[in-house]
């Protein structure tokens, strides 16, 4: 219930709610009809800044890749080794993107739970003790059976999405560091062996070391594929849950068909029946 103090109380349907501004206010009235409290909601979280980990990693990795590629070409295994090199480094990602999504979903979960608690406390602290009547009963039913349940479902989905983003942040960070660590340890060895490759023994040693490097990059590519398919499945499960949740908000679960009817009597917002629907506690209906 959000109305200025000089107007009769109304229950707004979602489609009748004006577009949100940078902040929203919930006005709470006492039994005399005077606004005693206004709760301000700030839905937009503070933007986060990318610390630049990914950019620094790529800047440090490029010289190492040049060294290893030169050694690969001299070993005679260049085509196959470079193909694995491309596959392993192409899968590098910026973990901040998942960190940012994790924080946004976490902020959303906290905002939902805070608003749900505020709504409960506002009704039972400021409305229920001071008002009675048909409108109050309808409002209680709507909060208890509609709003509270939807808030809980939204909060649960937000928490699961935040957890999934955290797991992907961890996997991407570990993969990036594994790739960098492989190149950082292999590049000096390959550079030394490449300088000795004119000798038959040195060439054999270079080919052996490139083979070890190829095996390690192959394992990294497989690691990435396993992670990709695992989290593809997790996101698919969350998408199914979001589809179920969409069905609770929209007719047939289709936003194009509009929101579900809240089944609130149109007389609730009728100015001519305000005194009948909103009765101060301790008074009888006229």
The three state secondary structure string of 155-199 is HHHHHHHHHHHHHHHHHHHHHHHHHHHHHHHHHHHHHHHHHCCCC
Provide the percentage of residues in the chain whose pLDDT is more than 90. 23
Mean pLDDT of 103-121: 87
Statement: the pTM of the whole predicted model exceeds 0.75: no
From the list 247, 244, 269, 267, the residue with the least C-alpha distance to 259 is 247
Q: Is the pLDDT of residue 229 over 60?
A: yes
Distance (Å) of CA 275 to CA 13, 136, 278: 21, 12, 5
- The SS3 assignment for 245 reads helix
Bridge-based pairing of strands 131-132 and 279-280 is: antiparallel
Look-up: residue for tokens 């990693």? 57
Task: Please provide residue 41's backbone torsions phi and psi, each rounded to the nearest 5 degrees.
Answer: -110, 125
Q: What is the pLDDT of residues 8-46, one digit of tens each?
A: 434 333 333 344 444 556 555 555 556 666 656 555 556
Q: What is the pLDDT of residue 11?
A: 37
What share of the chain has pLDDT > 70, as a percent? 80
Residue 58, token pair as written in the block: 């790529």
CA distance 18 to 31: 26
The alpha-carbon radius of gyration of the chain (Å, integer) is: 31
- Min mean pLDDT across 84-98, 117-131, 183-197 is at 117-131
The Cα–Cα gap between 220 and 118 comes to: 48
- Give the per-residue pLDDT at 180: 93
| Sign of the four-CA dihedral 261, 267, 271, 275 | negative
DSSP character at residue 281: T
pLDDT for 8 equals: 42
Q: Which residue in this structure is represented by tokens 């690969």?
A: 72
Both tokens of 250, joined, read: 């929209």
CA distance linking residue 253 with residue 283, whole number of Å: 43
Residue 3's pLDDT is what? 46
Place of tokens 């902020």: 107
DSSP 3-state assignment of 220? Answer: helix
d(CA 50, CA 165): 16
Higher pLDDT, 23 or 187: 187
Lowest mean pLDDT of 51-55, 102-106, 136-140, 209-213, name the range: 136-140
- pLDDT at position 256 is 84
Determine whether 192 is exposed, middle or buried from the number of CB atoms within 10 Å of its CB (0-12, 13-18, 19+).
Answer: middle
For the chain, what is the mean pLDDT?
79
Q: What is the pLDDT of residues 202-211, one digit of tens each?
A: 888 988 988 8
Cβ atoms of residues 193 and 205 within 8 Å: yes
Give me the mean pLDDT over the 86-111 stretch.
90
Quickly state the pLDDT bin for 266 (edges 50, 70, 90).
Answer: confident
* Neighbour count for residue 243 (Cβ, 10 Å): 10
* Residue 20, pLDDT score: 45
Q: Which of 169 and 126 is assigned the larger pLDDT?
A: 169
Highest mean predicted confidence (pLDDT) among 44-58, 114-128, 226-240: 226-240
Q: What is the pLDDT of residues 242-261, one digit of tens each?
A: 888 888 777 777 878 877 77
Question: pLDDT at position 176, please?
Answer: 93
What pLDDT is recorded for position 27? 59
């Amino acid at each position: 219930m959000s109305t200025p103090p000089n107007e009769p109380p109304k229950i707004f349907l979602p489609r009748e709610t004006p577009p949100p501004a940078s902040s929203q206010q919930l006005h709470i009235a006492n039994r005399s009809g005077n606004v005693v409290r206004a709760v301000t909601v700030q839905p937009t979280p503070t933007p986060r800044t990318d610390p630049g980990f990914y950019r620094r990693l790529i800047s440090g990795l490029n010289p190492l890749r040049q060294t290893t590629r030169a050694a690969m070409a001299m070993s005679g295994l260049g085509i196959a080794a470079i193909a694995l090199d491309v596959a392993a480094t192409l899968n590098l990602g910026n973990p901040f993107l998942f960190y940012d999504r994790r924080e946004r979903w976490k902020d959303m979960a906290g905002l939902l739970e805070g608003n749900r608690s505020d709504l409960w406390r506002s009704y039972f602290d400021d409305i229920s003790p001071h008002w009675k009547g048909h409108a109050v009963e309808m409002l209680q039913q709507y909060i208890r059976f509609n709003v509270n349940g939807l808030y809980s479902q939204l909060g649960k989905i937000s928490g699961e999405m935040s957890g999934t983003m955290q797991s992907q942040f961890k996997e991407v960070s570990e993969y990036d560091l594994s790739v960098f660590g492989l190149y950082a340890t292999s590049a000096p060895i390959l550079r030394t062996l490449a300088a000795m490759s004119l000798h038959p023994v040195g060439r054999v040693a270079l080919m052996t070391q490139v083979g070890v490097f190829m095996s390690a990059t192959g394992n990294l590519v497989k690691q990435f594929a396993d992670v990709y398919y695992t989290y593809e499945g997790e996101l698919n499960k969350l998408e199914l849950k979001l589809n179920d949740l969409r069905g609770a908000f929209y007719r047939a679960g289709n936003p194009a068909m509009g929101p579900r009817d809240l089944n609130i009597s149109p007389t609730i917002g009728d100015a001519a029946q305000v005194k009948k629907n909103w009765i101060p506690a301790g008074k009888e209906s006229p």
